[in-house]
Chains A and B, each alone.
Chain A
Amino acid sequence: MTDTTNMSAKELLGFYQEELYEEARRAKKEGKLVCWSASVAPSEFCVAMDIAMIYPETHAAGIGARKGALDVLEVADEKGYNVDTCSYARVNMGYMELLKQEALTGKTPEKLEKSPAARIPLPDLVITCNNICNTLLKWYENLAVELNIPLIIIDVPFNHTMPIPQYSKDYIAEQFKNAISQLEEICGRKFDYDKFLKVQEQTQRSVAQWNRIASLSSHKPSPLNGFDLFNYMALIVCARSRDYAEITFKKFADELEENLKNGIFAFKGNEQKRVTWEGIAVWPHLGHTFKGLKNLGNIMTGSAYPGLWNLSYTPGDMSSMAEAYTRIYINTCLDNKVKVLSDIISGGKCDGVIYHQNRSCKLMSFLNVETADILQKQNHLPYVSFDGDQTDPRNFAPAQFDTRIQALDEMMKQNKEGVSNE
């Protein structure tokens, strides 16, 4: 076993990400079950049954960030996937197709061989949850039928009215029971309720450390560069029900607190303005978007996206767990969405907001106009939006992004001067 005691948070992040993929590959070799899961689907049930987990969204983001998306997107195109659909889904369906070809022919397709992403095994089952979009229902339906494997669905109905009614939590909790019986059948053994409780407790410890990191961006200047959260997100997705996430996040939070104590900040002395980033990262252009902002002295200290995994609940209480999985801000009405984002902006002491009009994500794009308008009236902060895509590199124009953030920078400057002149 590798000794991880002296590793930095960054080293731990890389180590555990690779370890998770390796565990899944090993599980497959040993004839154990592998599950592909939506990123905010409850992980607790499968982990309690020792099923190796793979998260296609994280895997697709990795392919995008390593500039490998186009090859697999082409495979999805050939299968009839419209270029207008979610690029995470298309990357994954393309990748799945290549894995399937390999399994059927015994030969590794060239595009799979060349893919810069970690190799993942085909799943024996899939689990999905629509708390971050209904696309995840359609995508996983397709995975299940293409591979002829069981699909576990956790449906969390859109919360058009807040607070979340009890009958909605009851419906979700009933689905948890159903997921358990599906798993008992798939695994051929009784569900391990003792382990389940431990896994729930572990998940809570991971989430607590995750929230500890996120809260550090409230310091001004900030010891945390918000873009780092996009990277560390891989473990809150893939390992929140394991101690891998807790260990890594605790280390990172400790490091950041130590830095804070010693006056070491993310942008050294160059933090001039602070922004909220609303939406998913543009993975194939992560460097460009980050540097573009950094060169202007703009640090990202607010993003509601990492908060999707703020899954605090009471272990042992299914209704409380149901609520945690359904209250995700994009699964709620506009009023609540605005409230969550407003807290993010004020928590991060932000001077402006950037909205990602994400070609891949209708749910995170179609309310941006209204959200921005309401928030601007409340907080008088400037905002801009830009056109992008989470993993299809063709849907992002660096020049447009640059122009928009320059405009935002100007407006934030004027705003600040205006305030200081008063």
Chain B
Amino acid sequence: MSRIETIISELSSISNNPRKAMEDYKKETGKGAVGVMPYYAPEEIIHAAGLLPVGIWGGQKSISKARAYLPPFACSIMQSVMEMQLEGVYDNLEAILFPVPCDTLKCLSQKWKGTSPVIVFTHPQNRKLEAANKFLAEEYRLVREKLERILDVKISDEALHKSIDIYNENRKVMREFTDIAAAYPQIIDPIKRHAIIKARSFMEKSKHTAMVKELNSELKSLPVEDFTGKRVVLTGIMAEPNEVLEILKENGFAVVADDLAQESRQFRNDVPLGTDPLYRLAKWWQEFDGCSLATDAKKSRGPMLIDTVKASKADAVVVCMMKFCDPEEFDYPIYYRQLEEAGIKSLFIEIDLETTSFEQTKTRVQSFSEML
């Protein structure tokens, strides 16, 4: 097995088995993990406490117990998270960090069915004002206090600055990775790309950075080969389950960039410099744009997508629409029109973590491929 294959296989197995990643971390450090609900929680605070931040992204499963607590029109990812709460999947987490940037998450933050303590905080939405930074820094101060109390640790400013540096380094390496991966679609297919990125949700970030760094340099040493398939940019919350990516792969699609909440949106901006670490983390949210969950009077998602398509020389955009995610559903008509006006084709596929039948997606992807 080449070094590239070994790294990819290690990251894929972490991405497929977060529980084991947690257990390994515990064995190695003696410390536990804190769950991180979507979207955009300041993981750095958990990292600075020495615990493992673990992303909670639900999973492919059929919904039965959650039906008693959520009507069918709740988004697919939260249906699956609720189902897993009820199964006790998250009960070995020391705490859950819970942001509430949409109405569904506001409600879900008030009805956690697991046993771990939940720490809720609110992102401000009038984000471009300085007052928003101050508000969010205060929210983060409370998050820090609550974590300190629950975990019985002290989280110093110094440790926070250090964790921010580690995260920024990871963000930089991940941006490099997505650029490099676009040049090697024969090696980094959509499934591997996703697994390499997703692994960062379950790993101590400096470890992830080291592995991806090595992967980047191994990849760069290889010659770039011609790619005859189609190059696409993914946009949405996430592109799971893997069957969806499998269909893209089968039809000769390469993911050359993404605008997914689970992937690039998390690392396309660095946490800015500054003296107060919590203020720095708050300011990240102000500078972050192009996501349905971050209010934007200028609605820059469409123009940003167009720039991404141009920069990555993509042939089209694939809209990965999380079922019943209203923030994403509201963005769609606007950026769809903007993409059309820019002459960029897009394909709409529904993301449903419960489904096991992908025939419709298959047909849509096939006919889209013929259209391009």
Q: Show the binding face of A for B, using Cβ within 8 Å.
A: 79-82, 84-86, 89, 93, 130, 133-135, 137-139, 141-142, 144-146, 151, 153-155, 157-158, 160-161, 165, 167-168, 170-171, 174-175, 178, 333-334, 357, 359, 362-363, 365-367, 369-370, 387
Bound CA–CA A174/B299 (angstroms): 23
Q: Assess the B326–A81 pair: CB atoms within 8 A.
A: no
Q: Assess the A144–B69 pair: CB atoms within 8 A.
A: no
| Interface presence of B178 (CB below 8 A) | no
Kindly list chain A residues whose C-beta atoms are within 8 Å of the C-beta of B332.
80, 82
Q: What mask results when residues 318 to 351 of chain B are scored 1 for a CB within 8 Å of chain A, else 0?
A: 0001001011011111101100000000000000
Q: Assess the A135–B110 pair: CB atoms within 8 A.
A: no
Closest to B326 in A: A85
Q: Assess the A366–B327 pair: CB atoms within 8 A.
A: no
Q: Give residues of chain B (33-66) contacting chain A, Cβ–Cβ below 8 Å.
A: none
Q: Assess the B292–A165 pair: CB atoms within 8 A.
A: no
Bound CA–CA A241/B136 (angstroms): 31
Bound CA–CA A363/B333 (angstroms): 23
Q: Assess the A367–B126 pair: CB atoms within 8 A.
A: no
Residue from the list A160, A167, A357 in contact with B71, Cβ < 8 A = A357
Given A138-B330, A367-B111, CB of A80 within 8 Å of CB of B295: no
Kindly list chain B residues whose C-beta atoms are within 8 Å of the C-beta of A168.
135
Bound CA–CA A306/B68 (angstroms): 28
Residue from the list A93, A333, A366 in contact with B70, Cβ < 8 A = A366
Q: Give residues of chain B (66-112) contacting chain A, Cβ–Cβ below 8 Å.
A: 68-71, 73-74, 100-104, 106-111
Q: Show the binding face of B for A, using Cβ within 8 Å.
A: 68-71, 73-74, 100-104, 106-111, 120-126, 129-132, 134-135, 138-139, 292, 295-299, 321, 324, 326-327, 329-334, 336-337
Q: Assess the A171–B122 pair: CB atoms within 8 A.
A: no
Given A153-B297, A171-B135, A175-B129, CB of A85 within 8 Å of CB of B110: no
Kindly list chain A residues whose C-beta atoms are within 8 Å of the C-beta of B299.
141-142, 144-145
Q: Assess the A363–B129 pair: CB atoms within 8 A.
A: no
Kindly list chain B residues whose C-beta atoms are within 8 Å of the C-beta of A81.
329-330, 333
**Contacts beyond the supplied A85-B329, A367-B107, A370-B69: 9 A-B pairs with Cβ under 8 Å:** A89-B330, A135-B330, A139-B330, A145-B298, A145-B334, A160-B120, A174-B129, A174-B130, A366-B71
Given A137-B125, A141-B295, CB of A86 within 8 Å of CB of B326: yes
The interface centre, meaning the residue of A89, A142, A151, A157 with most chain B CB atoms within 10 A of its CB, is A157
26 of the cross-chain contacts (CB-CB < 8 Å) are A85-B329, A130-B125, A133-B103, A134-B125, A135-B326, A137-B295, A141-B295, A142-B330, A151-B297, A153-B125, A157-B135, A160-B120, A167-B134, A171-B131, A171-B134, A174-B131, A175-B126, A178-B131, A334-B110, A362-B74, A363-B107, A365-B73, A366-B71, A367-B111, A370-B69, A387-B71
